[in-house]
Structure 1
Amino acid sequence: MKIKYKFTLIITVIMIFLGLSLNISVRKILKDNMENSIINSLKEVTKSARESIKYTLSIRDYIFKDIALVQEADYLIEYISLNYESKLRICDVNGKVISSNLSEDYIEFSENLNEINEGKTIVNIKYSKNSLTGLISYPLIINQSYIGIINLTKDYSILFMEYKKAINTLTLIEISLIIFIFFISYRLTNKIVKPIETLTYASKKLSEGNYNINIDIKGNDEISILSKEFINMKTKIQEQILEIEKEKEKVEKLALSRKIFFDTVTHELKTPLTSIMGYSEMIIQNIVDDENFKVHALDRIYSESNRLNKLVLEIINISKGLSSINEEFISMDIAPLIESISSDMNIKAKKYNLNIYTILESGEISIKANKIKEVLINLLDNAIKYSIESTIIIVNSYICDNFYIIDIINEANPIPDYVYQHIFEPFVKSNTSEDLSSTGLGLYLCKEIIKEHDGIIKLDNGDTIISTIKLPLSNNHNKSIINN
């Protein structure tokens, strides 16, 4: 049960209890006053009637007053009835009726005979539905002589009706007062409880994570102060949650940055390792017997090892917060770089019965050589990984609309559509066996590197896969064709 209903019910029960108690008390007081008035009235009538009887019997000069009472009984009844608006009967000392004008026989008169004979006056009040009758019985003693009994009745119905009217009016007033107090108490309780209900609702919404709540605050009472403090608390919680969310975003970004950094480092390390492994494998297996090639291979192994060593030292410095991998842009002819990378990757391609064929055009562009080298190695590595066996991988470069364009073309099975639609997003890869060791970051990092060079990278899907890089030219460039 809601608290406002409890308060209203409690107040109503208390008011009903107080109303009933007051009604019963007032009823008793009014009834006691009415009965005391009736008793006093009957005593006055009795006193007057006794004097009238005494006077009547005295002036008749009867020797025996009891005989005189019998003879004057009818006259006395008529006289007293007319003067005192009452009815009565006169009995002898044994209770035998001498004369009477009563319309009914009241049993109370017979029951009180012994007490009357003892000299007592007995008063009774008899109630009926809409009438009230006062009864009084008293011994008639004249000159110390007990000569008879007077039983007198007087109608007090008018007084009784006034009493009932007063009681009914009082009851109506009390009921009206209870209803009025119930209404006022309900309004007051509702006024007190409504802000609490509002706070309860707001607290529930707050616990559900809804902070877009407001409370209309009026006044300076305790409830208003509580509401203001609740709003302040809500605001502080909201601010703290926003701060926590910001910190969470920072942590997530930091974690992602670390992940991308280490994956980038992996690809940075992959570039020299690919050359070192390729040339080492050819020397160990004595694939080429040309001494000049062996010298060239050893020179490349040395230079790439030296580069690998520098990368490792740079990573150590970065882990200590002393440095960061940062390469400067240099203007250079990119064709020899493409030729060198294609030559290195061709060693790996031949292991899979593939061959890399280059058609290169010179072009002067501003690049970070190692970064572009990483992109080309990644794209050629993908071409080798997914090409159909015994096919040719073509590396074609040319100048068009102030852009130096590099196309890497290979025959392969089409890339699944769900992968192709997100091919340059991080951590996207297919579920083929070739991709089990892949992080899914290669093409994403390539896109970021090309974006850093203000270039464009795209990939055309189908039975023939074409990876295209577009890099802006420097102001001056030369043209020449290189065929392998």
Structure 2
Amino acid sequence: MLHTLRSKFVIGFFLIFCLSFLLLNVTLKEYIRSSNKSIVTSDLIDLKNNGNIYVTQAFLINHFTNNDLYFGQMAEEMAGDLRRATSSDVSAYTIDGNLLYSTDAGKFAGRSTDDLKLALKGKTAYTISYKGSAGSVLYSYPVVIDGVKVGILRFAKDFSSLYEQTGRILNLIFYLALAIFLAAFVFSYLLSRHITIPLMKLTNASTEVIRGNRNVRLAFRRKDEIGRLADNFNDMIERIDSQIATIGRDRDRLQSLIEQEKRFFDNVTHELKTPLTSILGYAEIIRENGESDPAFFRKGMTHIVDESRRLHGMVLNLLEVSRRDAVREEAEPIDAGVLLRDLCDAMSIRAKRYKKSIVLTAGDGLVVFGEADRLRQLFINLLDNAIKYSAPLAEIAVAGEHGPNGKTLRFMISNPGETLSAGQIASAFKPFYSGDRTFKEEGSMGLGLSIVQSIVEDHCGTIRMESDKGRTTVYVELPAAIIKGGEV
């Protein structure tokens, strides 16, 4: 296509220059021809005027009664005088066209007699003859004395110098115009190459991109529109690469989420089915046997209560996940230190069940602006996680304090146990993630830390986990409520 575009440029410029050159030549030749004609006409008018003056004066001096006879008698003298006066050869004719005398018969012989024929009819006429670069004129007009035609004068005037000069001018203009147009054509051709070659490279580069090669780049050291077009092309490829990379990452992330959701669904189905099956089994046996076996009855009722509580906890977690985007309760000042102490006392009972203990160190005035129920859920999940995944007979350390700048509150929950890898820590807060842990409790679906992270982010805080040398610690930072004059 660009080859065609270049050809169009070249052919178009060639046709324009050729037509312009021909038009210029035709216009100049016509102008010079018209100018020469004006010069010749002016000279011939002067020639006629001088001839008429001479003949009139000759007739006035000699008062002949027969003017025709006198014209014939003085034809030789008159022609000679006019030749000397006008520098032109002269022939005198009768009114019938008979030659009376000629200063040089050879100048008139073998040439057109159209001017003479018109003069015989009483008209003034001339005929121009060309021979190479030379040009001559035959000029005829009737001589009239006192209203009577007495004869015809015919002049042969040489205009070779005029036509030679105009010929030289035409040649000079022709070659000068030819040189100018050739230079303009060469410049136009180079300009077309200057335009089409980058476009050809751009077309080839775009073709490579269409074929899937996005490593193509254009490097034009130009500041014009083509240079900016090349820069835009490079930027476009960069943007395409960036978008494709983003799409690839999103695709991989979506695939990972789909897989996690599938695992989550499978886990939920299994984990909800397990306690329900167990509850249904004990309930049917108790209904059949009643209280006939008190020991089995107590064991069955205890199992039903425990499984119901575990099922209730799983349902609450699922509800929390499902309502993350729901409208939140109105925030209020919460003393997180008091809340954390109450929760540690309550969770100590659960910790003792696993023969573990909770040690709390919390300062006063740990006030945060937030939702009490969700902050309670935050700490319950972290404490419950620490209890479930800590080593046997572990001591769980819980601490709360003001940050170094006084604008944040820092909470730490640490427990001894299995050291987590960097990959496990990175995935721990992902939704639907359920890691492979040695001490994983039956029924856990990996929602706890995902819920915790959501609550922390909703309170404009941060959360991170560290695991080293057999100890895992979760750090939570929340903005401290600013209290002025007893008001938040």
Query: What TM-score comes out, normalization by structure 1 length?
Result: 0.50
